[in-house]
Amino acid sequence: MATPAVQKGPGRGWPRHRPNLRFREPAPLLFLTAILLQLAPSSAFYLPGLAPVSFCQKGEETETCKSNIEVFVNRLDSVESVLPYEYDVFDFCQNETEKRPSENLGQVLFGERIESSPYKFTFNKPEACKPVCMKPYNPQDRQSADKLSFIKKGILLNYQHHWIIDNMPVTWCYDVEDGQKFCNPGFPIGCFVTQDGRPKDACVINSEFNKKNTYYVFNHVDIVITYHSGKNKEWEGARLVAAKLVPKSYNHADLSHLNCEGPPMEIPAEDKEKKINIVYTYSVTFNEDEKIKWASRWDYILESMPHTNIQWFSIMNSLVIVLFLSGMVAMIMLRTLHKDIARYNQIDSAEDAQEEFGWKLVHGDVFRPPRKGMLLSVFLGQGTQIFIMMFITLFLACLGFLSPANRGALMTCAVVLWVLLGTPAGYVSARMYKTFGGEKWKTNVLLTSFLCPGIVFIDFFITNLILWVEGSSAAIPFGTLVAILAMWFGISVPLTFVGAYFGFKKRPIDHPVRTNQIPRQIPEQSFFTKPLPGIVMGGILPFGCIFIQLFFILNSIWSHQMYYMFGFLFLVFIILLITCSEATILLCYFHLCAEDYHWWWRSFLTSGFTAVYFFVYAVHYFFSKLQISGAASTILYFGYTLIMVLIFFLFTGTIGFFACFWFVNKIYSVVKVD
């Protein structure tokens, strides 16, 4: 199973080919919006982050139409470092009256720090070589030298700007091989030419960037804003449908002597005594385009997304695995079990009754409580909580409520759902623990409330300390940490206790057969029916169904690519559920036929072992796809990866366990046992 390759051009992290997409994310969103508009025609309704804004020329403003266009800036990040930084950390032009839009919980957890910028335009008013500010640097001044050094470090690590106009990312689109166009929702601070004259990253776009051991700063941007006019439409003014820019470098003498056609702005790497003045400028033009609709304005951004053929290949590959497993399970249920059950139920003599074999022989031990039943029940409770959270989140994302336009909504939804789903976790954990014959209900409910969430919080807190030390924008503020703890202790924990109360109040789950007092001796097992080989084999097929989708998810997290294909993700999620269930049922049946009745933990670990393959793939991705450098970035990468692996382990393990639990109860409920 090969990972889809990312073709790269000259310089690290520069994709050279991204075929165009032929489908649109907002379609289900618009369909739902249209229904709501039909239900309430007297007032307009838009989903979060997708309300259109109208723009008019200067002097024609109204309450619903404005002329000023503001540029907001997000954090700067890099594919070579896990550490993102706020815009203000770099010594760029600052807004005199800084204005931050309200941030939701998801944006804070993801480290998004959106703030206003000094780049402000008037609708349909072109500007050419407009000055913004000048930043002087004197090597004799320690503070000034440190600021310039930090900019050089950002250029060397290829940090990217992320600008936002009308809630839409400003993209840098450029031609690549085969006549294709790549649109990157960000543009670099600058670029660097090495000591041997090799241009790195964005320096390949301009032949003038040829001086050895030199940094080039992109201090000028040519911005093109495309709008759809409101002529003969039901709205007033115009609506923006695209925002693109091209970063450039010009060596301006000062604010009064601007030259947007001169040589590039150079910063020598070795000459540390030279005074430098960096003047930031911009040009902006407006284009009218009636063909692009406001509802499909994100389409041009998605030109850079992976082609859907790869996604469909992944889906078809997974469906083949599911069909194979379904056929195997059907064969067992309809042929093998049917014959076994028919034979067992037609026994006429006591002599024939002694000739039992296979899974029937362990009927008196198959429901014997497992060792470490307390821990298993806690894992099952947490896994149930995670499963419900993931299902609802992905379902809402498919409807368009959690689209990329509504920043931070995905993480906010997931966290809020997890907090509110403490009751199912407590109920399942308590009910299973009581079924196992446990009596320490206080310990059970406390472990359900604090064990797995505590591990995640400790990991998260340690990584956050590293981010604090490094001064990264991804560091969670202390107040937010207190708020998360308050949600955990004030909402999730009480709800878990409520669920545990009802779980312990219920009677234990009735098993179809009685358990013998003396355990049956398990015969010598072959290699394939031993616990470890079976568990290792059990995680291969589920991982094979998701590894391509996993590649795109890791790209969106660590390579800062936009992920929005939640329809594919939800379909793969359903396939994963089926695959984990069927693979666990198959292996469980084989082990019971080998007279090994220790299936409780084995069913959980068989599908849960998929998380181990997840971790191995994340390690492979780190060394083969990323260019991350530095101990802090490496620790952060594996710290966050371990959190994802733990969540995935609990989720897949719980799915496999309950599938096997249903299967075992089903087959032993139809067998007549004296």
Mean pLDDT score across all residues of the chain = 82
Output 424 or 262, whichever has higher pLDDT: 424
565 touches 330 (CB < 8 A): no
Domain coverage including residue 183: 53-304
The predicted structure's pLDDT at residue 614: 95
485 touches 453 (CB < 8 A): no
Asked if pLDDT for residue 121 goes beyond 60, the answer is yes
The two three-digit tokens of residue 172, written as one number:
């840098």
Asked if pLDDT for residue 626 goes beyond 60, the answer is yes
**Whose structure tokens read 């060397």?**
156
**CA–CA gap between residue 281 and residue 220 (Å, rounded):** 5
Give yes or no: residues 277 and 400 share one domain.
no
- Helical ranges in 139-203 per DSSP H: 142-156
Asked if pLDDT for residue 46 goes beyond 50, the answer is no
- Domain membership of residue 513 (yes or no) is no
**CA–CA gap between residue 410 and residue 533 (Å, rounded):** 38
**CA–CA gap between residue 414 and residue 405 (Å, rounded):** 17
Percentage of the chain lying above the pLDDT 70 cut: 84
Asked if pLDDT for residue 1 goes beyond 90, the answer is no
- Domain membership of residue 311 (yes or no) is no
**C-alpha torsion angle, residues 337, 338, 339, 342 (rounded to 10):** 120
The predicted structure's pLDDT at residue 605: 95
CA neighbours closer than 13 Å in the CB half-sphere of residue 553: 16
673 touches 361 (CB < 8 A): no
Least confident of 94-98, 212-216, 478-482, 547-551: 94-98
Give yes or no: residues 264 and 410 share one domain.
no
Give yes or no: residues 131 and 269 share one domain.
yes
Output 163 or 274, whichever has higher pLDDT: 163
Average pLDDT for residues 25-33, to the nearest whole number?
36
Asked if pLDDT for residue 488 goes beyond 50, the answer is yes
DSSP strands (E only) in 310-443: none
Residues 6+ apart with CB under 8 A from 668: 363, 366, 367, 511, 512, 513
Q: What DSSP character marks residue 93?
A: P
**Whose structure tokens read 């310089």?**
11
The predicted structure's pLDDT at residue 236: 81
- Phi, psi (5° rounding) for residue 565? -85, 65
Least confident of 132-141, 147-156, 402-411, 538-547: 402-411
56 touches 68 (CB < 8 A): no
Question: Whole-model pTM?
Answer: 0.82
Give yes or no: residues 279 and 386 share one domain.
no
How far does CA 464 lie from the centroid of its chain?
18
**CA–CA gap between residue 517 and residue 519 (Å, rounded):** 6
Give yes or no: residues 300 and 378 share one domain.
no
Least confident of 99-108, 132-141, 151-160, 232-241: 99-108
Most confident of 144-148, 491-495, 533-537, 571-575: 491-495
- Domain membership of residue 177 (yes or no) is yes
- Domain membership of residue 458 (yes or no) is yes
**CA–CA gap between residue 434 and residue 256 (Å, rounded):** 80
Residue 69 banded pLDDT, cuts 50, 70, 90: very high
Q: What is the CA radius of gyration of the chain?
A: 30
Give yes or no: residues 86 and 190 share one domain.
yes
Nearest to 601 by CA among 584, 581, 582, 577: 584
Q: How many other CB atoms are there within 10 angstroms of residue 231's CB atom?
A: 8
Q: 254, 276, 304 — which closes off a domain? A: 304
283 touches 260 (CB < 8 A): yes
Give yes or no: residues 290 and 380 share one domain.
no
SS3 467: helix
Residue type, 262: G
Residue 502 to residues 242, 387, 426, 430: CA-CA distances in angstroms? 54, 20, 9, 8
Nearest to 559 by CA among 297, 200, 184, 85: 184
- Domain membership of residue 580 (yes or no) is no
**CA–CA gap between residue 203 and residue 198 (Å, rounded):** 9
- Domain membership of residue 365 (yes or no) is no
Q: What DSSP character marks residue 532?
A: H
Q: How many other CB atoms are there within 10 angstroms of residue 98's CB atom?
A: 11
The predicted structure's pLDDT at residue 584: 92
Give yes or no: residues 163 and 288 share one domain.
yes
How far does CA 195 lie from the centroid of its chain?
38
Residue 643 to residues 293, 442, 456, 554, 655: CA-CA distances in angstroms? 41, 26, 6, 14, 19
Q: 264, 286, 304 — which closes off a domain? A: 304
Bridge partners (DSSP) listed for residue 248:
220
Give yes or no: residues 172 and 265 share one domain.
yes
Q: State the distance between the two ends of the chain, measured CA to CA, in whole angstroms.
A: 49
52 touches 239 (CB < 8 A): yes
Give yes or no: residues 295 and 443 share one domain.
no
585 touches 663 (CB < 8 A): yes
Output 364 or 163, whichever has higher pLDDT: 163
Residue 29 to residues 187, 397, 531, 534, 568: CA-CA distances in angstroms? 29, 10, 47, 44, 16
473 touches 154 (CB < 8 A): no
SS3 384: helix
Give yes or no: residues 398 and 285 share one domain.
no
**CA–CA gap between residue 652 and residue 543 (Å, rounded):** 10
Residues 6+ apart with CB under 8 A from 54: 64, 65, 66, 230, 235, 236, 237, 238, 239
387 touches 654 (CB < 8 A): yes
SS3 521: coil
The two three-digit tokens of residue 220, written as one number:
């000028």
252 touches 217 (CB < 8 A): no
pLDDT tens-digit map of 601-610: 999 999 999 9
Give yes or no: residues 294 and 405 share one domain.
no
Q: What DSSP character marks residue 542?
A: H
**CA–CA gap between residue 588 and residue 668 (Å, rounded):** 13
**CA–CA gap between residue 305 and residue 39 (Å, rounded):** 35
If one counts the domains in the chain, the total is: 2
SS3 118: strand
163 touches 170 (CB < 8 A): yes
Residue type, 585: I
Q: 482, 507, 532 — which closes off a domain? A: 507
Bridge partners (DSSP) listed for residue 241:
none
- Domain membership of residue 105 (yes or no) is yes
- Domain membership of residue 629 (yes or no) is no
Residue 343 to residues 328, 331, 369, 642: CA-CA distances in angstroms? 21, 17, 29, 49
**Whose structure tokens read 């219920």?**
506
Bridge partners (DSSP) listed for residue 247:
221
SS3 530: coil
- Phi, psi (5° rounding) for residue 311? -65, -45
DSSP string of 1-18, one letter each residue: -PPPP--B-SSTT-B---
Q: What DSSP character marks residue 630?
A: S
The predicted structure's pLDDT at residue 179: 65
**CA–CA gap between residue 599 and residue 661 (Å, rounded):** 9
376 touches 437 (CB < 8 A): no
The predicted structure's pLDDT at residue 260: 86
